[in-house]
Chains A and B, each alone.
Chain A
Amino acid sequence: MAIVVERKKLGFFERLYLPQIISGLWITLKNIFRPRVTLEYPDQAPVLPVGYRGAPTLVKDSEGREKCVSCQLCEFVCPSKAITVTPGEIPADSQYAFIEKAPAEFKIDMLRCIYCGLCEEACPERAIVLQNNFSINGASRAELIYNKTKLYAEGGVLPDKIMKWKRVKDNAELEGGSH
């Protein structure tokens, strides 16, 4: 069934079209004097909203311990397969040897990363965090595959309120055991 759209009957001035043109011109003229909305990016820094998803980084806790335990959930969840984790064991002489596991190498291919933030969501240790860096650039493809050192340098320290592993250790010492 055809739908008949009721059209408004145009008056003489409307059919003349000129008043419409003039009102249009008036609108554009006003616009000329309005403030500009362009953000002049390299000169002006954009204001990033809370929860902005920039480049994924690895963070350390306030003690300087690397939080990642290389569970590889981020690698698993990553839809663009940008993350490659090589798990490794924490050496026995480290004060964190009781945590047992840490990444031997952690690579994120920034060319593949789509900044979806699923890795951050999947991380049980809150070790991988999407921070504010959106300007990711390099002179070669190899340069844009960030390794562990680079990711920790980008990530910095994220204070940890829960301190899960510290509690495990304290508990063990309380019970008289040791790790």
Chain B
Amino acid sequence: MENEKVTVNINGCNYEVGAGLNVLEACRSVGVEVPFFCYHPKLKVAGSCRMCLVTIGTPARDRATGELLKKEDGSPEISWMPKPAIACGTKVSQNMHVVTDSEFIKSCRESVLEFLLLNHPLDCPICDKAGECKLQEYANTFGRGESRYIENKNVKPKKVMVAGKIMMDSQRCIECSRCIRFCREFIGRSTFSFTKRGSKTEISVYPNSDNDSNYLLNVVDGCPVGALTEKAFRFKMRTWFLKVTDSICGESSAGINVRVWSRNGKIYRITPRRNDAVNDMWMTDSGRYIHYRFEAKNRMSVARIDSSPCDLGYAAERCLEILKLGKVAIVANAWQSVEEMFLMKRLADACGAKIYMISHVGADDGKLLSADRTPNMRGAFLTGLLDSYPPKDFKGLGAAIDAGEVGTVLCFREDLKDFGLEQKQLKAANIIYCGALENNISASAKICIPLRTEFEKNGSWVNRQFRIQKFNMAVQAPENTFADIDFLSFLLSELEGSHFDAPSAEDVRAEMAKSIVAMKDAVHIPASGLPLDSSQFASVDFPEEDAMHYSRQKK
């Protein structure tokens, strides 16, 4: 069924399209644009906006014999439907004829838009949706251009706060019901509904239904107009100024595909990116705000030795000297990219260090927030940093320090103090702290190296499905910070004596593909990610539960 094809004639040309598609998807798959508001590929069809009207015809059959009728020139006779049909609610069939560009269809769209705009306030200058608003785009492309409406517009509630994070403006609403359907179908609990009738219909919120769902903001992305806008992004920046970077959400091992919207080095918002194998078109609300972590004032801005600021290169060289003394332990973390982990493994081998990691586990919501709250635990397994799921604290490291086996701790990002090391253990060892933010140990660390956040570097993570996915640099890193890859490769080139100078993430992946079998194809990763062979880790006890596009049993 999935691979079955049917022939459909769209605007006079025959195309092979997948059977079972609706006409709208069929048209889009061959590059014919059909405008729509209420249709959403991941939601049920509602057919409420009537924007996708097309003329549809099927081959005519003789009523008596059931045979296909032919015209005089031999081509099949088409029986056209007398009225236009909605493309989103019609499935394709063999030899179906579709017309999307006739004058009639154009006038249909014009009229539909005129009706939609009757009560629309046209306050684009103050609307956050402007620039990415379907109504705005279609009004420009398919609309009449002028209003004939001279009566007063209906007045509906504006500035209604929903669940503390959405601003609702019923007046802008075009009653597409996407938000209603999303809440019912994905969250499983109704939040929005229509009230009143006819032209007075307005979108409303169920009384006392403060929805605490972690997915509610997806209705903002879904809303084709500015009726639902995000409180946190309200009046912050117009969308057309923002640069879009494809990235991956680092909130959990679900590996949600996201877009990072930034301008002049400041991230304004994060929205989901469609990936039918991972997150469809959704993401968690909490994941939208993880960039706030790095806007915090405790960003480490300068390298330090013994708490006094110094040159970055000098700090790195001192770091190297200490590492050469031996008795090194490396504390890695699962926010690091696969490339960094690969280099770290080589670094550990080069200085005979043991690698310590801990797990960060939270509640699994069975959708897109998985139990493992780090994005790249699978990467640590693939690169050989780990062979079993790590413990929750650094007691092992503490014991090693007490036993005198460890004299230097090269710690990346993790807060040793919060996770099991005691003050005297911290004092007993030379702590080299590398990270983007200050934490409990950075103040007393021997050397502090400021690193970059995941929004400031390129790399890739392996999510819970063992799918390797790329994230890209969204904003420029502050001066005097090291990219982890550069720092690690600097240490490596000095310790190994090899020439491995400031490689790109791609270079490291090429190196990795040579030595790690599972990664052999993962040099150029497509935008939708690349599933890796995970059979050798089937015995590992991962904490994630079954969720969207993921099931434990498979492993």
Direct contact of A and B (CB under 8 A): yes
* CB 8 Å contact bits of B52-75 with A (1 = contact, 0 = none): 000000000000000000000000
Kindly identify which residue among B124, B159, B236 contacts A100, using a CB–CB cutoff of 8 Å: B159
Task: Tell me if A89 and B234 are in contact (CB < 8 A).
Answer: yes
Residue of B with least CB distance to A89 = B235
Q: Does B125 contact A (CB under 8 A)?
A: yes
Q: Does B399 contact A (CB under 8 A)?
A: no
Q: Does B94 contact A (CB under 8 A)?
A: no
Task: Tell me if A76 and B240 are in contact (CB < 8 A).
Answer: yes
Secondary structure call for the B interface: loop
A172–B240 Cα distance when bound, in Å, is: 31
Contact A69:B126 (CB < 8 A) given known A76-B241, A87-B235:
yes
Residue of B with least CB distance to A100 = B126
Interface residues of B in 99-127 (CB under 8 A from A): 121, 124-126
Taking CB atoms, residues of chain B closer than 8 Å to A87 are 235-238
Q: Does B130 contact A (CB under 8 A)?
A: yes
Q: Does B154 contact A (CB under 8 A)?
A: yes
A71–B123 Cα distance when bound, in Å, is: 10
Taking CB atoms, residues of chain B closer than 8 Å to A172 are 155
Secondary structure call for the A interface: mixed
Interface residues of B in 479-521 (CB under 8 A from A): none
Task: Tell me if A171 and B235 are in contact (CB < 8 A).
Answer: no
Residue of B with least CB distance to A75 = B241
State the interface size on chain B (CB cutoff 8 A).
Answer: 20
Residue of A with least CB distance to B126 = A101
Task: Tell me if A71 and B235 are in contact (CB < 8 A).
Answer: no
State the interface size on chain A (CB cutoff 8 A).
Answer: 24
Kindly identify which residue among A89, A125, A174, A179 contacts B152, using a CB–CB cutoff of 8 Å: A174
A43–B130 Cα distance when bound, in Å, is: 49
* CB 8 Å contact bits of A61-103 with B (1 = contact, 0 = none): 0000000011111011000000000011100000000111100
A125–B126 Cα distance when bound, in Å, is: 11
B290 to chain A, nearest CB (A): 24
Task: Tell me if A101 and B238 are in contact (CB < 8 A).
Answer: no
A156–B13 Cα distance when bound, in Å, is: 61
A172–B156 Cα distance when bound, in Å, is: 9
Task: Tell me if B238 and A72 are in contact (CB < 8 A).
Answer: yes
- Listed by A's residue number, 13 A-B pairs whose Cβ atoms lie within 8 Å are A69-B125, A71-B125, A76-B241, A87-B235, A88-B235, A89-B235, A100-B159, A168-B121, A171-B153, A171-B155, A172-B155, A174-B152, A177-B155
10 cross-chain pairs, A with B, having the tightest CB-CB distances, nearest first: A71-B125, A177-B155, A101-B126, A175-B155, A87-B235, A72-B238, A172-B155, A124-B125, A69-B126, A171-B152
